[in-house]
Structure 1
């Protein structure tokens, strides 16, 4: 972003597109974390496990 701004090519469309692109890995990461958790933890313990992951300082919290 700083290079695009300094070069004078930072348009709102480019800025919004880069924000959208950078949010995809975060979303996929948290979705994958909970999908894996659902596979590893028995159904009766999933709510507690998800709460523990959320409270443990995970990046999506």
Structure 2
């Protein structure tokens, strides 16, 4: 997996997390978007590290 694909997956995860969290919250104010956006950035960072570790230590076939 190359870096472009990894970055695009991380961005997609952040966007999906934010949208789904706001929809489930049922509150569409700016405060909610910012709060869920911050949580999504943390989620994206953790997701990115885990994907990078998976890519790094994966056994080549």
Q: TM-score, normalised by structure 2?
A: 0.47
For CA contacts below 8 A with separation 6 or more, give which structure has more relative contact order. 2
Decide which structure has the larger Cα Rg and report it. Answer: 1
Normalized per residue, the structure richer in helix is 2
